[in-house]
Amino acid sequence: MIKLSTFAEVLEHANNNNKKLFEVFQDQEASLQEKCISFVRSKLAESLDVMHSSIKQGLANKELSPTGIVGDDSNKIIKRYTNKEIKTPFGELYGNIMAYAIATLEENQRMGKVVACPTAGSCGIVPAALIAYSEKFDISQEKQIDALLTAAGIGKIISFKVALAGAIAGCQAECGVASTMAAGALTELMGGDNEKILNAAALALKNVLGLTCDPVAGLVEVPCIKRNGFSAIHSATASEMALAGIKSAIPLDEVVDAMKQAGILMSPLLKECSEAGLATTKTGMHITNNLNINK
Amino acid sequence: MNNTSIFDIIGPIMVGPSSSHTAGAVRLGLLAQKIYRETPKEIKITLYNSFAKTGKGHGTDKGLVAGLLGLHVDDPKIKYSLEQAETQGIIVNFLYQNDTDRHPNSVDIELTGENKLFVSGNSLGAGEIEVININGFKVTLTGEYHTLVLVYKDQPGMMSLVSKYIQDYNINIASLLCDRKSKGQEAAMTICLDDQIADEALEKMKQLPDMYLVRRIEAIKR
């Protein structure tokens, strides 16, 4: 297997062989698993099925999370966007992206089944963007799998430099990377070339540098659930900019370096331990103390 | 680093909300169950540090019990594991401790039934786990490998006898760890293997003089 450890190397290899990025990622995975490409694609189809069912379950279930502080927000968005009487600035797609991301996270917090993407706390972003777009533009499952491969490959190359965990690099490494992956996936879905895909990813990642991981009471609830909604929309913005021909002034590999540095410089108190930031605000502490879920 | 799979990025398929506090907990319970092999009458779980502080909100308690009942990380029944244990008449108790010498996501599991088992383990993040102690013996079990745990009387030659039986089946040893209570007393060996070893080989090991326990622990699916 050819060693491709940076985006520059992946891009060069893809362009030299007249391949899309997803084809390079799928070739690499097949050789890693010592299986054929169809095996890799069918495993991704399985993940895609679970992503669909997390959204469906998330919207159907109105039960609150075990702590009782979150769980019924996705339907509020659907309600607003399906009401013909209400004027909204963007179309139904915008509402669905937000709602699907939040629904997936609500299902996650209810102990429902999800696909970590790249983590459980950021598992709503890629599925929401991908599935909402695919419904709107009637995109085939095969094309959706191409986009999933693009997303996964982008996440994988980033993970060579930075571990994808809030405890290591803050939320930049979770929701930040998920929106970077989704930006690339959407650009693939909309027919963008390899350069546009990597520009979308770079634009998305640049805009989340420094994002902290400071969840209230250490739970995947506040701000994680709504942040998945924001991040999914963020990925669509980055993709649209790139498809319009806007380039990232800083190449993706260098943005990843900057993200790694920001992660190192970030105080450990803001990296998943809930000892600063939102977690220790007056209201954050009040919520924590009132949970009374442990002794 | 080129061993990273895209399924490490998109995956695992799991029950939420946290890969370390939920999926990791299920896998720790499952590995303890694979070591114990019986249905316990009583489960005592001591959660440490972050597991103790945020475990309930993450379903760490339900995850551990689910694993002990044999459920995998993607089973929707994880949510109802405490009720399932009650229905099966299993007594479950939780204790919460703070101990800075321990890993942030650390747990002790004591199982009582026909036999007793004590297991200590950690959840390392992204669903990765390790069992570090079985009945007072230091071990390193991650669930990734088919593993043999042997308890015997500390004496010269034990390792070569055991490794010969493994070699007879042409199985490669991935790692090996020995620990003993004191010289000439009870000792334990943890052997990680690249392939599953046959029952015959286990039977031969059980026949060795001064061998107290031979336990084969299957790898658990990711």
| Tens of pLDDT, residues B15-63 | 999 988 999 999 999 999 999 989 999 999 999 988 998 888 889 999 9
Chain A, residues 230-259, CB within 8 A of chain B, namely none
**Once rounded to an integer, what is the mean pLDDT over residues A148-160?**
97
**Once rounded to an integer, what is the mean pLDDT over residues A105-115?**
95
B72 Cα to chain A: minimum distance (Å) = 12
**Once rounded to an integer, what is the mean pLDDT over residues B166-187?**
90
pLDDT at residue B210 greater than cutoff 60: yes
| B5, B18, B50: residue with CB nearest A120 | B18
pLDDT at residue A91 greater than cutoff 70: yes
Q: Compute the distance between CA of residue B14 and CA of residue B30 in angstroms, rounded to an integer.
A: 14
The whole-number pLDDT of residue B2 equals 59
Per-domain residue ranges of chain A? 7-35+43-294
- Please name the residue of chain B whose CA is at the shortest distance from the CA of residue A120: B18
Q: Where in chain B is the domain with CATH 3.30.70.260?
A: 146-217
| B8, B13, B126: residue with CB nearest A113 | B13
Does B57 contact A67 at a Cβ distance shorter than 8 Å? yes
B197 Cα to chain A: minimum distance (Å) = 23
pLDDT confidence bin for A24, thresholds 50/70/90:
very high
The whole-number pLDDT of residue B222 equals 62
The whole-number pLDDT of residue A109 equals 93
Mean pLDDT of chain A: 95
Decide if A107 touches B, using CB distance below 8 A. Answer: yes
Decide if A109 touches B, using CB distance below 8 A. Answer: yes
Does A165 contact B126 at a Cβ distance shorter than 8 Å? yes
| Tens of pLDDT, residues B85-121 | 999 999 999 999 999 899 889 999 999 999 999 999 9
- Please name the residue of chain B whose CA is at the shortest distance from the CA of residue A2: B2
Share of chain B above pLDDT 70, in %: 99
Give the CA dihedral A179, A183, A184, A190, nearest 10 degrees: 150
The whole-number pLDDT of residue A67 equals 75
Nearest CA to B50 out of B98, B93, B119, B95 is that of: B98
Share of chain A above pLDDT 70, in %: 99
Does B9 contact A181 at a Cβ distance shorter than 8 Å? yes
Assess if CATH 3.30.420.40 describes domain B11-135.
Answer: no
Report the length, in residues, of chain B.
Answer: 222
ipTM of the prediction greater than 0.90, yes or no: yes
pLDDT confidence bin for A167, thresholds 50/70/90:
confident
The whole-number pLDDT of residue A212 equals 97
More confident residue, A45 or A273: A45
Share of chain A above pLDDT 90, in %: 87
The whole-number pLDDT of residue A66 equals 72
May I ask the CATH class of domain A7-35+43-294?
mainly alpha
The whole-number pLDDT of residue B89 equals 97
pLDDT confidence bin for B1, thresholds 50/70/90:
very low
More confident residue, A45 or A2: A45
pLDDT confidence bin for A294, thresholds 50/70/90:
very low
∠ CA A68-A72-A75, nearest 5°, is 175
Mean pLDDT of chain B: 91
**In a 10 Å sphere around its CB, with 0-12 CB exposed, 13-18 middle and 19+ buried, how is residue A250 labelled?**
middle
The whole-number pLDDT of residue A224 equals 96
Decide if A52 touches B, using CB distance below 8 A. Answer: no
Please state whether beta strands B42-48 and B91-97 pair in parallel, antiparallel, or not at all (unpaired).
parallel
**Once rounded to an integer, what is the mean pLDDT over residues B178-193?**
90
Helix (H, G, I), strand (E, B) or coil at B203: helix
| Tens of pLDDT, residues A34-80 | 999 999 999 999 999 999 999 999 999 988 887 788 888 999 999 99
pLDDT at residue A293 greater than cutoff 80: no
How is domain B146-217 classified at the architecture level of CATH?
Answer: 2-Layer Sandwich (3.30)
Token reading at B154:
């500390």
DSSP string, chain A: -----SHHHHHHHHHHTT--HHHHHHHHHHHHHTS-HHHHHHHHHHHHHHHHHHHHHHHH--PPPTTSS-S--HHHHHHHHH-TTS--SS-HHHHHHHHHHHHHHHHHHTT-EEE-SSSGGGTTHHHHHHHHHHHHHT--HHHHHHHHHHHHHHHHHHHHHS-S-HHHHGGGGTHHHHHHHHHHHHHHHTT--HHHHHHHHHHHHHTTTT--B--GGG-S-TTHHHHHHHHHHHHHHHHHHHHTT---SS-HHHHHHHHHHHHHHS-GGGBSS-SSGGGGSHHHHHHHHHH----
pTM, entire model: 0.89
